[in-house]
């Protein structure tokens, strides 16, 4: 009996890095569950994948909510027969403000999406990877909280991004016996729409008084990277070519983090 095609779940798949990753994996023959909160965006991604000759399933869910996530993962496994690849990409910048101005509910929202969302994504999918005898997980973190700490007021955000890398390294050992690899990508400035969910307050109180060189991304002459630049690294990390890589954060920032 012929083996089935690989199946991937990509969260935050409606735009940016998630969208680019979903399309790239589908172009390689992987069936993809595109998960997010905005159905219209997800349907556009699914249509793009279908036009390329690939297969995609729209999964509308909030990664911070347990029951919708369980239902979405079950629907994906039921439709495509299993699960092999997890890309935990969904996240928000949230509110960036001085620590005494950042409100508890604003802190909680960032933690809920970025950290609880990563936990629930893995919590609901790892049993299926174990059942299949292995798989690959990539968590999309950031240079913030892992290489740089100079983004004004981004305490909640950097805390979640640092925690994501800690989770990756912890789980790389825990899941190795199940032949499940776990890695992280840590993008720098990438041309995505994440700034739309950023609220910046009282920047003058938290900004670091340093004059950066013109353009913060050396390899591109100051221009942001592209979502495809990150997606290419994710595609490699979930492939058999990366079979001996686990527990590793990979910075995809064009050297930006080294300036800071």
Domain assignment present for residue 2? The answer is no
Please say whether the beta carbons of 94 and 197 come within 8 A.
yes
Beta strand pairing status for 94-96 and 135-140? Answer: unpaired
Tokens encoding 47:
């249509």
- Residues spanned by the domain of 79: 7-259
The CATH code of the domain that includes 236 is 3.40.50.720
Domain assignment present for residue 111? The answer is yes
Question: Tens digits of per-residue pLDDT, 158-211?
Answer: 999 999 999 999 999 999 999 999 999 999 888 755 455 556 555 555 555 545
pTM for the structure as a whole = 0.90
pLDDT number for residue 140: 98
Q: Specify the number of domains making up the chain.
A: 1
Domain assignment present for residue 213? The answer is yes
Domain assignment present for residue 38? The answer is yes
Q: Binning pLDDT at 50, 70 and 90, where does residue 123 land?
A: very high
| Rounded average pLDDT over 101-106 | 96
Question: Tens digits of per-residue pLDDT, 16-69?
Answer: 999 999 999 999 999 999 999 999 999 999 999 999 999 999 999 999 999 999
Asked if the model's pLDDT at residue 131 lies above 80, the reply is yes
pLDDT number for residue 147: 92
Domain assignment present for residue 72? The answer is yes
pLDDT number for residue 190: 80
Q: Which residues are catalytic?
A: 157
Domain assignment present for residue 1? The answer is no
Which phi-psi region, left, alpha or beta, contains residue 254 (left: φ > 0; alpha: ψ -120 to 50)? left
């Amino acid at each position: 009996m012929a083996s089935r095609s690989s199946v991937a779940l990509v969260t935050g798949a409606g735009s940016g890095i998630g969208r680019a990753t979903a399309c790239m994996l589908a172009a390689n023959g992987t069936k993809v569950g595109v998960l997010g909160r905005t159905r219209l965006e997800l349907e556009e991604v699914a249509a793009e994948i279908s036009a390329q000759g690939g297969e995609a399933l729209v999964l509308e869910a909030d990664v911070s909510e347990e029951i919708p996530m369980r239902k979405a993962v079950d629907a994906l496994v039921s439709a495509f027969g299993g699960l092999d690849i997890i890309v935990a990409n969904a996240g928000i910048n949230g509110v960036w403000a001085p620590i005494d101005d950042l409100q508890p509910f604003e802190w909680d929202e960032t933690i809920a999406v970025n950290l609880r969302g990563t936990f629930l994504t893995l919590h609901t999918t790892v049993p299926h990877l174990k059942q299949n005898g292995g798989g690959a997980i990539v968590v999309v973190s950031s240079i913030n909280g892992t290489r740089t700490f100079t983004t004004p007021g981004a305490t909640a955000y950097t805390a979640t991004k640092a925690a994501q890398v800690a989770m990756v390294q912890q789980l790389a050992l825990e899941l190795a016996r199940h032949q499940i690899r776990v890695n992280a990508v840590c993008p720098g400035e990438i041309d995505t729409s994440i700034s739309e969910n950023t609220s910046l307050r009282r920047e003058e109180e938290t900004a670091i008084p340093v004059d950066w060189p013109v353009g913060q991304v050396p390899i591109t002459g100051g221009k942001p990277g592209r979502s495809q630049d990150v997606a290419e690294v994710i595609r490699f990390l979930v492939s058999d070519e990366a079979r001996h890589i686990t527990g590793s954060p990979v910075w995809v920032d064009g050297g930006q983090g080294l300036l800071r």
